[in-house]
Amino acid sequence: MSPDFVCESCAATTLALAPSGWRCACGGPWSLPPGPPFDRESIDPDGSGVWRYRQQIRLPEDAPQPTLGEGAGGWRRLSDGPIAALAHLEPTASFKARGAAVLAAWAGLAASPPLIEDSSGNAGGALAAYAAAAGLACRVYVPASAPAAKKDFLRAAGAELVEVEGPRPRATDAAIADAAGTYCSHAWNPMFLEGTKTLAFQWWEEHGDRPPPRVYVPAGQGSLVLGLRQGFGELAAARPGFRAPAIIAVQHRTAAPLWSASGAAGDPPPPREDDVPSIADGIAIPAPVREAAVAAAIRESGGRVVVVGNQEIRAAQERLLADGLWVEPTGAVALAGHAAAGDGADALVVLSGHGVKPAAL
């Protein structure tokens, strides 16, 4: 059974399957307490996608298990470079498939459809697809300026699409104001992280007690940072001597709130003329919902924040294309950060979104 949700700000609790609201009355986000140590004997060989690890996912045993085969992307060693997690090859063409699978399962027990989300593209597309797999209606609010290919994917996945003029926060405000359903934000609902953490479990299952010393991830809302920190933490709790990797969060020069929050000295590098507007729309988040928790996860893992701009991201895209890998600009951010840090082959970079949506270079 799911444990209670706990407010990250005031420590109030609420039933996970009957929460008092999409956030705490104090305005803080709900979270889950640390998960149980990873039990290798609990892996379900017949489970599909994230549900191979259903004993680590804190939902009732009889919870629905919507899946589209997430986790099939696997890994690849880049030419003269690090290992890449091919999360851009997930069923919804982004890493958010894992989180959406668990969020849709939770919604099948705890939400009144339609499921309501706000997104610039990837999160909304993932939730729409998994809501369809779970038989749940979904409505997604998007900025009118979002890439056309991402909006096309939302429509194809069966979501009701609501375009909102103006900056990204207006889409969020419109989604929150919609009372004709349940707000199921990937940024606010902690069940999303229960899916994201399974990337760590899959790495361990396929590589054993050899975690990469450093993992580079793009960081907007920070769900990859938090999910990987949680997943590798549950592995470390069960395996003496297991050393969880340092998490390197990569942000864009136009939106790097984690730089100072994570303890980096001085101000982040300022944007260059070519950085405006940012081509990494997926991480254009000036105020992450879980900023304090994400910053703490980076620090506690021994990681740091690396900041890049459009020029470095385009170079990373070109490098990946030379290896036959097509990712969107945000999807290349982790590799751009790896190059900016001057790191070597002994690292993992997460390619987070496919180039089909969009293919900017």
**Dihedral pair phi/psi, residue 293, rounded to 5°:** -70, -40
Percent of the chain with pLDDT over 90: 84
Q: What is the pLDDT of residues 29-41, one digit of tens each?
A: 999 999 999 999 9
CA distance 123 to 120: 8
Position 179 confidence tier, pLDDT thresholds 50, 70, 90 = very high
pLDDT of residue 169 exceeding 90: no
Position 281 confidence tier, pLDDT thresholds 50, 70, 90 = confident
CA distance 352 to 341: 19
Strand partners, 84: 76, 349
Token pair 């940012």: residue: 278
Annotate 146-164 with b (16+ C-beta within 10 A) or e (fewer): bbebbbebbeebebebbeb
Mean of pLDDT values over 3-17: 96
Threshold 0.85, pTM exceeds: yes
Position 360 confidence tier, pLDDT thresholds 50, 70, 90 = very low
Position 359 confidence tier, pLDDT thresholds 50, 70, 90 = very low
CATH class of 75-95+193-350: alpha beta
3-state secondary structure at position 338:
helix
Q: Which of 51, 56, 50, 16 is nearest to 233 (CA)?
A: 56
Q: What is the pLDDT of residues 101-155, one digit of tens each?
A: 999 999 999 999 999 999 877 899 999 999 999 999 999 999 898 878 878 888 8
Strand partners, 350: 85
AA letter at 50: V
What local confidence, expressed as pLDDT, does residue 288 receive? Answer: 95
What local confidence, expressed as pLDDT, does residue 148 receive? Answer: 84
| Contact predicate 85/352, CB 8 Å | no
State both tokens at 42: 């609990």
Mean of pLDDT values over 47-74: 94
AA letter at 119: S
What local confidence, expressed as pLDDT, does residue 358 receive? Answer: 59
Sheet hosting strand 160-164, strand order edge to edge: 160-164, 138-143, 115-118, 182-183
Position 298 confidence tier, pLDDT thresholds 50, 70, 90 = very high
Token pair 């299952």: residue: 205
Mean of pLDDT values over 282-286: 90
Q: Beta-strand (E) ranges in 230-342?
A: 246-252, 304-308
What local confidence, expressed as pLDDT, does residue 1 receive? Answer: 56
Q: What is the pLDDT of residues 234-275, one digit of tens each?
A: 999 999 999 999 999 999 999 999 998 888 888 899 999 999
Q: Which of 204, 187, 251, 237 is nearest to 348 (CA)?
A: 204
Kind and range of the H or E element at 99? Answer: helix 96-110
Query: Is 97-191 in the same CATH topology as 75-95+193-350?
Result: yes
Q: What is the pLDDT of residues 204-228, one digit of tens each?
A: 999 988 999 999 999 999 999 999 9
What local confidence, expressed as pLDDT, does residue 361 receive? Answer: 39
Compare 278 and 359 and report the one with higher pLDDT.
278
Q: Beta-strand (E) ranges in 49-187?
A: 75-77, 83-85, 115-118, 138-143, 160-164, 182-183
Tell which CATH architecture fits domain 97-191.
3-Layer(aba) Sandwich (3.40)
Sequence spans of domains, the chain = 75-95+193-350, 97-191
